[in-house]
Amino acid sequence: MPYLNITEVESGVTSLAAAFPTAGLVELPEPTFEGRTCHALRIGTHRREPKPAVVLIGGAHAREWGSCEILVNFAADLLHAHADGTGLVYGGTSFTSTQVSSVLDEADLIVFPLVNPDGRHYSQTVDPMWRRNRNPARSGGDPDAVGVDLNRNYDHLFDFRTAFHPSAPVRVSDNPADSDQVYQGPEPFSEVETRNVRWLLDHFSRTRWFVDVHSYTQKMLYVWGDDQNQSVDPAKNFRNPLFDGKRGLKDDQLYAEFIEEDDADDSAVLAERFCEALKGVRGKEYTPEPAFDLYPTCGTSDDYLYARHIVSGQEEEKILTFTVEWGTEFQPPWPEMKKVVLDVDAGLVQFCLTALA
């Protein structure tokens, strides 16, 4: 089949929810600018005691078409295998029926395949390289200035001109007509799509792991994205204004973002296991690394969600967060994309098993 359009993604989610007792439909609270209501799936067996959750989202960047297919297929594979009492086979990587059952028994999986339906529709019908949503509020009538980069709209170091060194190559802009389409929006969570993701994390308050599916570069990224990691000096952290204007440079002595050593180690292991399982499918090499190694960022989902437990003084559940960058182009020919789906889904199943071990 070809890539799914937005109606087909929605139909896939609602059909799975209707077909399997271990799946439930979750309606996101805010319709998009063009009036579309989004849905996620909750997957898992029911039991009395509360379970930790793994939240997986995709489709935030409109032109990265295959992210939706990856997550719809991931959900369908697990549900069918669990219902039939079978394992899963992805090329050279396989999982037993016991492993499949353990994922559904030990966790709630929250799968939100299409964060940005307006943008995907525009990308599939008008401009294939469209990245942002379709909010025209700051466009001033300029069609090139419509929309916000949703993965720059989260509340983490949003004031990048203050937070980062002037020479840092941070990929973000406060210009709505920015040609790279990385306009962050007027303020954090100005967009309904990012507020819907935030709501999902608030609603499933026992979330312990989060994966945002993107393309491309064949990497599995983990925090931090604003600077290199260090676990020595806790004073060097994103909330300390003493380090404003010093973040975002590679291999310098000015700044590196503090992360607890256990969190850094656990994140690295989860990313490595994802990449190992993915490689087993057909030999594709993905690299596990901190997000900063790709390029410095701010306002991203992974940094924001990991930082929530720090900002709240540990009142929020700690979430280990990741970004998949699948493939080597935004819209591979469909025969190749089908193989990428199997690659990444094998990695995601192993990710869940490792997280729950």
Tokens of 54: 């793994």
Q: Is residue 134 part of a domain?
A: yes
User: Number of structural domains, the chain?
Assistant: 1
Per-residue model confidence as pLDDT tens digits over 231-268: 999 999 999 999 999 999 999 999 999 999 999 999 99
**Cα-flanking dihedrals φ and ψ of residue 323, to 5°?**
-130, 120
Q: Is residue 143 part of a domain?
A: yes
Per-residue model confidence as pLDDT tens digits over 110-153: 999 999 999 999 999 999 999 999 999 999 999 999 999 999 99
Query: Which of 28, 10, 22, 24 shows the shortest CA–CA distance to 200?
Result: 28
160, amino acid identity = F
Q: Is residue 332 part of a domain?
A: no
Cα 157 from Cα 164, distance rounded (Å): 9
- Percent of the chain past pLDDT 70, that is, above it, reads 100
Cα 34 from Cα 117, distance rounded (Å): 9
Mean pLDDT across 155-175: 98
Q: Read off the pLDDT band of 46 (50, 70, 90).
A: confident
Query: Which of 108, 109, 99 shows the shortest CA–CA distance to 354?
Result: 99
Q: Are 144 and 127 in contact (CB under 8 A)?
A: no
Alpha-carbon distances of 104 from 57, 169, 199, rounded to whole Å: 18, 41, 23
Q: Is residue 338 part of a domain?
A: no
Alpha-carbon distances of 19 from 24, 114, 208, 230, 280, rounded to whole Å: 10, 20, 27, 47, 31
DSSP state, residue 146: -
Mean pLDDT computed over every residue of the chain: 97
The separation between CA 90 and the C-alpha centre of its own chain, rounded to angstroms, equals 22
Q: Is residue 333 part of a domain?
A: no
Per-residue model confidence as pLDDT tens digits over 201-213: 999 999 999 999 9
Tokens of 194: 């990012």
Report if pTM > 0.95: yes
Mean pLDDT across 260-287: 98
Cα 320 from Cα 306, distance rounded (Å): 6
* 314: pLDDT strictly greater than 80: no
Q: Read off the pLDDT band of 316 (50, 70, 90).
A: confident
Tokens of 342: 């199997």
Per-residue model confidence as pLDDT tens digits over 12-40: 999 999 999 999 999 999 999 999 999 99
Residue range of the domain that includes 134: 6-324+349-356
pLDDT at position 1: 57
Cα 229 from Cα 56, distance rounded (Å): 24
What are residue 42's DSSP bridge partners? 24, 110
pLDDT at position 48: 73
Other CB atoms within a 10 A radius of the CB of residue 269 amount to: 15
Cα 207 from Cα 54, distance rounded (Å): 6
Q: Is residue 342 part of a domain?
A: no
Pairing state of beta strands 108-112 and 53-58? parallel
**Domain at 206, CATH number:** 3.40.630.10
What are residue 323's DSSP bridge partners? 212, 221
